[in-house]
Structure 1
Amino acid sequence: MISRPIWQRVLVLSLLLAATESEIQSVSAASNDVTYVQGPAPAPSKNTSALYAERKELFEKTSTLTGIPWTYLAAVDQYERTINIARKRPAHQGLTSIYFAESDWTGLMNPDQQDTNPQTIALFQGYGRDGSGDGVADRNNDLDVLASMTALMSKLGTRDEQMQISLWNYYQNSRSVERIKQFAAIYRAFGTLDLNGHAFPLPIGSDYSYRSTWGDSRGWGGHRIHEGTDLFARHGVPVRSTCYGIIEIKGWNPYGGWRIGIRDVNNLYHYYAHLSGYQKGIKEGDIVEPGQTIGWVGSSGYGKKGTSGKFPPHLHFGLYRDNGLAEWSFDPYPSLRKWEREDRNKRKNK
């Protein structure tokens, strides 16, 4: 049997997919329900749950043909989705959200930047491939886009480290590769794309109070604004993960004291500061889920390692969005109110 490049083997996807092209187009409208704004996406409806299932099936079948783990395909697609939103980039309307600029798709020196001919695109070293077998390389076609991305990812092989090098060659950004690795680990841990559930960071039954404090001025360590919301509670109240995610950082920070940062698959960084301690055994790289205890309320920070008691015990909670090059904070208060309301409703319905 002749060994063919992975992208050529992806041509048979059109014969193996359970969903027809018309079915793919029919769920593309549902993709508009998965909105990533300055905060978490809403809990999936029946339509979005079906969309996640369709998308995962597409990745699994592509994985069978290419040898690329479906979790890596999902991670690249999700990373692209978050970058599309953060950079306000035009997104492909389909099951996937992988974006190729016209010049990348057709080739930088290609005189026809609307070219859809796979042969001339290859001649000008464009990324575009025909994955559906119709003789056209269409960057708005899910199968063509996946064929192009799998060819790119597998250029050096399909082992993790080989794909990571290929992805770095494409993005020229170690931050992008790190996010894709993180997303793949989260998908691998839970086995699903449906990871938009959240939890309030403190137990609903505990005694706490908070208000919107994002943007308030702060003086310790120099003039700066408050990049989060303070939730006041008794020392030792459990602090919980608000999302499905991966622990990106844990340890001491002069401003935040004992702090922990969690990255979710929407490329949001959930920041918890002033803890009195951490849940036993928890470490960087661990995968967590909503409601899981990660530490306890304290008053650490504003000084050298171990400093505590310079202010009343509380949890500082922040949210940050990543655009692939930098991160910025946004007001977490609306999200906190939403998660609090959802947790109260769950408690009532038990």
Structure 2
Amino acid sequence: MIAVVKSPSSVGNSCILRAANGTGIQGPSVSFRSNRSKNTVRRRNGGVVSTCALSTEGEQAEKQFSAFDRVSILSEALPYLQRFRGKTIVIKYGGAAMKDESLKARVVTDLVLLGTVGIRPVLVHGGGPEINIWLSKLGIEPNFKNGLRVTDADTMDVVEMVLGARVNKSLVNLIQQAGGQAVGLCGKDNDTILARQMVEKDIGFVGEVTSVDARLIEGLAAQGYIPVVASVASDGKGQALNVNADTAAGEIAAALRAEKLILMTDVAGVLHDKDDPESIYAELSIRKCNELVEQGIIAGGMIPKVDCCIRCLSQGVAATHIIDGRQPHSLLMELLTDEGVGTMIQG
């Protein structure tokens, strides 16, 4: 598969309503699209679908559309709504999108919309910034080792309280206020997520996911509820373990045989040049991902995210996506438009 590199300027301020990316410059295996104040939205297959002008402020721009424009937008989304109706989409939610209240409100609106049209969203969340706030309030210094939160007994209590109660129930409440139905769960509940404590020294109650019992989540989704799952696992003996939210979401997606796994992150997607947010890959195969890792293009914190996606694909998930949660309505833009906004990884 040829990888396509696209500009994050294709991300809009409102689902399908505002989008932009530039013209292509073909290279030997990737195409780069420049960022312009007036841009053409292009399909993943290369066909032009619409044109709109955006201010250089990007997310601050507001574009008024006629009734015809809005109907056209719905027409573009229709094939995707039909395709994904009744399908399960697992979304991992975290990072900056959780700290910005306006972004949080848009994510919640997107989830409710998906549920309303018959798609089954499952939300899996972390909450690192909120955990740090409460650790500081309680006089506990946040500590990390090799990118993992050192989780002693006191820290584990805070992690479980913050993720399983404050963050989880806040998201459930927001979904309900937006007109949806949601049920909050902790991965520890009913041993839904089982994990074993990592053997690495001096990191405490940090776990590796070993299995997921998806029956409770699946049953709730089938009844029209949006399951909201906190990334706290059980060791099977009553001990809570802190697990990576990306990994938890990936294993839940695999257990549910979900149509898609979507990781909402603080970057535009997989980048050809980590210092150039314009150089985003639109689509990647597993083979191409492995090549990019070998070349050092996929590196650092992106490696475990890509590994999570590849593992999901190997377990039957149809497609995985890495998108920028900082961009308003990026979830709907990736799911319901021809162009998409992040990186889609398929087998």
- Which TM-score applies when normalising by structure 1? 0.28
Q: Which has the higher relative contact order, 1 or 2, with Cα contacts under 8 A spaced 6 or more apart?
A: 2
More strand by share: 2
